[in-house]
Amino acid sequence: MICCNSQHRTQQFPVKMDVVLEQGALQGLQNKTLLSNKPYVSFLGIPYAKPPVNDLRFKAPVKHPGWSGVLEAISEGDKCMQYAFMTDHIIGNEDCLYLNVLVPQVVKTQNEPNGKLAVMIFIHGGAFNYGCGSVNEYSPDYLLDENVIVVTLNYRLNVLGFLNLDIDECPGNMGLKDQLFAIKWIKENIAAFGGDADNITIFGESAGSASVHCHTISPQSTGLFQKAIMQSGCALNPWVLNENHRAAAFKLANNLGCLSNDPKEIVKYLKNVPAIDLVKGTKFKDETGFLDYKFVPSIESVTVSNPFLPAHPEQLVNDASPVPVIIGLNNMEGMIALIEHRISQFSDDRITDEISKLCKNRYSTEAITKIKNFYFNKCNIESETTKLEHICHLHSDVLFVKDFYRGFDNFLKQDVTPVYKYEFKFDGELNAVKNMVFATRPVLRHTIKGACHADEINYLFHGKLSGVVPKPNSPELEMCKMMGKMWSNFAKSGDPNSSDLSFKWLNASASAPEYLSIDGDRTRMAEGMINSNRLRLWQEISESVV
Measured CA to CA, the distance from residue 346 to residue 343 in angstroms comes to 5
Spatial contact of 122 and 150, defined as CB atoms under 8 Å apart: yes
Measured CA to CA, the distance from residue 253 to residue 257 in angstroms comes to 6
Beta strand 170-171 with 164-167: parallel, antiparallel or unpaired?
A: antiparallel
Phi, psi of 138 (to 5 degrees): -130, 70
Q: Give the three-state DSSP class for 232.
A: coil
- Residue 358: is it exposed, middle or buried by C-beta count within 10 angstroms (0-12/13-18/19+)? buried
Listed residue (433, 445, 9, 12) closest to 231, CA to CA: 433
Measured CA to CA, the distance from residue 161 to residue 172 in angstroms comes to 7
Measured CA to CA, the distance from residue 516 to residue 423 in angstroms comes to 6
Measured CA to CA, the distance from residue 490 to residue 227 in angstroms comes to 8
Listed residue (342, 430, 450) closest to 391, CA to CA: 342
Exposure string of 144-161, with b = 16+ CB inside 10 Å and e = fewer, is bbbbbbbbbbbbbbbbbb
Q: At what angle do helices 532-545 and 365-376 cross, to 10 degrees?
A: 170
Active site residue 395: no
Contacts of 537 (CB under 8 A, 6+ apart): 370, 371, 374, 397
Measured CA to CA, the distance from residue 304 to residue 261 in angstroms comes to 19
Listed residue (227, 230, 123) closest to 493, CA to CA: 227
Q: Which of 42, 206, 466, 517 is catalytic?
A: 206
Listed residue (123, 2, 122, 143) closest to 73, CA to CA: 2
Active site residue 340: no
Q: Which of 453, 456, 462, 466 is catalytic?
A: 453
Active site residue 446: no
Measured CA to CA, the distance from residue 149 to residue 118 in angstroms comes to 6
Measured CA to CA, the distance from residue 80 to residue 540 in angstroms comes to 41
Run of H or E including 165: strand 164-167
Measured CA to CA, the distance from residue 397 to residue 410 in angstroms comes to 18
Spatial contact of 361 and 256, defined as CB atoms under 8 Å apart: no
Cα 207–Cα 54–Cα 51 angle in degrees, nearest 5: 55
**Cα→Cα distances 380→220, 250, 314, 338, 354, Å:** 51, 46, 39, 18, 18
Q: Which of 137, 146, 333, 456 is catalytic?
A: 333
In angstroms, how far is CA 310 from the centroid of its own chain?
21
- Largest Cα–Cα distance of the chain, in whole Å? 72
**Residues designated catalytic:** 206, 333, 453
